[in-house]
Amino acid sequence: MLTSTFTFLQGIGPTTERRFWQEGVTDWQSFLNQPRIAGLSPDRKSLYDRELALAQSEYEAGDLRALASRLHRREHWRFYDTCRSGLLCLDIETTGLTAHDGASAVTVVGLHRNGQTIALVQGDTLTADRLQAELDHCTLLVTFFGTVFDVPFLRTAFPQLRFEMPHFDLCLAARRLGLRGGLNHLERELGIERESALQGLDGMDAVRLWTQWRQGDPAALKLLLAYNAADTESLAPLALLLYKEMMLQFGPGSSSSAVTPPTIHRVSSR
């Protein structure tokens, strides 16, 4: 999907991109191979050729961060197939609802990749260096509402952190597909299951559990980490489901730009 993307070219929107696909110009190389493109002047074609050749060079060199800077963040779902082996799911717990509240802090950062989950905990393993090391091994960051919540919170807590990789925000994709509600709601809708002891817990419970642990209840931290792990791990199957649906709705094989009711099949993450 990534090399079929043309919307980063100046003046090219989804409608023109879809026209390219329908006319057989399905990727960068096929565009470059065409001496002329209907609707484009020779000067415009030459300009796009240079930009696409540069993008293709960056792609072949593995410079996905440069490509990510070209695309609007809502289009970063297009990196999924290319970056799947380096995918990192991230979910945080905090003591507040906004990163700009001086009293709010990040308490837990859950990280899931290649079937393994770790939790970085405030006052113990959660440091800027440790978190940056994890991010540096990531080719695609996956979050739920992370462009608005998780990443701004982490930038406030650790200003030196670098988030240069593509970022697939599943909340943005879900809303674009007409799917509403938070992560737990989508899990139930799509059949992604979690342990019964964790069902019904939410962000406010995470704040409460952290407070209880700080007051001397070790069981509270255990439950908090289990809740965070469930949130973090569910992002992986959800990312696959949403990517497939985005491809059906907005990829080269889709018949139109109109959004039809989602056809996502229910699955279990366990």
According to the model, what pLDDT value does residue 180 have? 86
Digit-coded pLDDT (tens) for 158-199: 999 999 999 999 999 999 999 988 888 888 888 787 787 787
Do 239 and 118 have their domain in common?
yes
Of 72 and 263, more confident? 72
Digit-coded pLDDT (tens) for 18-73: 999 999 999 999 999 999 999 999 999 999 999 999 999 999 999 999 999 999 99
According to the model, what pLDDT value does residue 257 have? 45
Query: Where does 93-217 have alpha helices with state H?
Result: 128-136, 150-157, 170-176, 183-190, 203-214
Digit-coded pLDDT (tens) for 84-134: 999 999 999 999 766 666 567 999 999 999 999 999 999 999 999 999 999
Do 90 and 159 have their domain in common?
yes
Beta bridge partners, 121, equal 108
Do 86 and 209 have their domain in common?
yes
Do 49 and 156 have their domain in common?
no
Q: Which is nearest to 131 in space by CA: 109, 148, 114? A: 109
Do 92 and 49 have their domain in common?
no
118-127, 239-248, 259-268: range with lowest mean pLDDT: 259-268
146-150, 180-184, 198-202, 259-263: range with lowest mean pLDDT: 259-263
According to the model, what pLDDT value does residue 19 have? 96
According to the model, what pLDDT value does residue 74 have? 93
Do 49 and 162 have their domain in common?
no
Q: Is the pLDDT of residue 263 over 80?
A: no
Of 267 and 79, more confident? 79
Is residue 116 within a helix (H) or strand (E), and if so which, with residue range?
strand 116-121
Do 130 and 244 have their domain in common?
yes
- Cβ(88)–Cβ(114) below 8 Å: no
According to the model, what pLDDT value does residue 191 have? 78
What region, left, alpha or beta, does residue 114 occupy, with left being phi > 0 and alpha being psi -120 to 50 degrees?
left
pTM: 0.90
User: Residue holding tokens 């290649």?
Assistant: 114
Number of domains in the chain: 2
- Cβ(173)–Cβ(242) below 8 Å: yes
According to the model, what pLDDT value does residue 115 have? 94
Mean pLDDT confidence for 237-254: 93
106-113 β-sheet, strand order = 116-121, 106-113, 87-94, 140-143, 167-169
Do 44 and 14 have their domain in common?
yes
Other Cβ atoms less than 10 A from the Cβ of 239: the count is: 22
According to the model, what pLDDT value does residue 188 have? 82
Q: Is the pLDDT of residue 258 over 50?
A: no
Q: Considering the domain boundaries, does residue 72 fall inside one?
A: no
Burial class (CB in 10 A: 0-12, 13-18, 19+), 52: buried
d(CA 125, CA 6): 42
- Cβ(249)–Cβ(256) below 8 Å: no
Q: Residue 187: how many CA atoms within 13 Å on its side-chain side?
A: 21
Q: Is the pLDDT of residue 267 over 50?
A: no
Do 55 and 95 have their domain in common?
no
According to the model, what pLDDT value does residue 261 have? 45
Supply the angle between the helices 203-214 and 218-250 in degrees, to the nearest 10: 160
Do 22 and 130 have their domain in common?
no
Would you call 90 helix, strand, or coil by DSSP? strand
Beta bridge partners, 143, equal 169
Read off the CATH number of the domain in which 221 is found.
3.30.420.10
Digit-coded pLDDT (tens) for 192-225: 877 877 877 888 999 999 999 999 999 999 999 9
Mean pLDDT taken over the chain: 90
According to the model, what pLDDT value does residue 196 have? 75
Is residue 94 within a helix (H) or strand (E), and if so which, with residue range?
strand 87-94
Which DSSP string do the residues of 224-246 spell out, in sequence order? HHHHHHHHHHHHHHHHHHHHHHH
Q: Considering the domain boundaries, does residue 255 fall inside one?
A: no
Domain containing 226 equals 81-250
56-60, 206-210, 252-256, 259-263: range with lowest mean pLDDT: 259-263
Beta bridge partners, 167, equal 141
Buried b (16+ CB within 10 A) or exposed e, 192-227: bebeeebeebebeebbebbebbeeeeeebbebbbbb
